Amino acid sequence: MEDFQADVRKIMEVMPHRYPFLMVDRILELEPGERAVGLKNVTINEPFFQGHFPGQPVMPGVLMVESMAQVGGMAILSAEKNRGKLVLFAGISKFRFREVVCPGDQLIIEVGMTQTRDAAGKGKGEIKVQDKVVASGELMFALSETED
């Protein structure tokens, strides 16, 4: 495993996502093409909290899934053979939400690739808050060439 830390600037060198849809603040561990661990600080400043839900802010599950997909995307796109490509979210299965995520929580998101081919693959991951699993599941992805 590489001794690796990537802040949001380094993440944006690899990933095409930008505010308000960049859902990862830091990569803590990285094994290119195999595995990544990321961090997402959940703050009341997130635009989705204005409507989800006023007076009782809860992070939408679909955005937790997206944060996991982005951490997985970092693992995939960090592999030399995938540099400069676009990773697309292709599917989701066996996803479960176990706890509510609220402002002030810090998500630790771990994704490992379980199957990879030239243009597609699968990963399995979990999201923790204070060492407690709040969500887990499997994601499918497809790789695409970027249009320049």
* Secondary structure (H, E, C), the chain: CECCCEEHHHHHHHCCCCCCCCCCCEEEEEECCCEEEEEEECCCCCHHHHCCCCCCCCCCHHHHHHHHHHHHHHHHHCCHHHCCCEEEEEEEEEEEECCCCCCCCEEEEEEEEEEECCCEEEEEEEEEECCEEEEEEEEEEEEECCCC
Residues 8, 4: Cα–Cα separation, whole Å:
13
- One of 10, 17, 52, 85 is an active-site residue; which one? 52
Examine the residue annotation and report whether 17 is marked as an active-site residue of this protein: no
Among all residues, which ones are annotated catalytic? 52
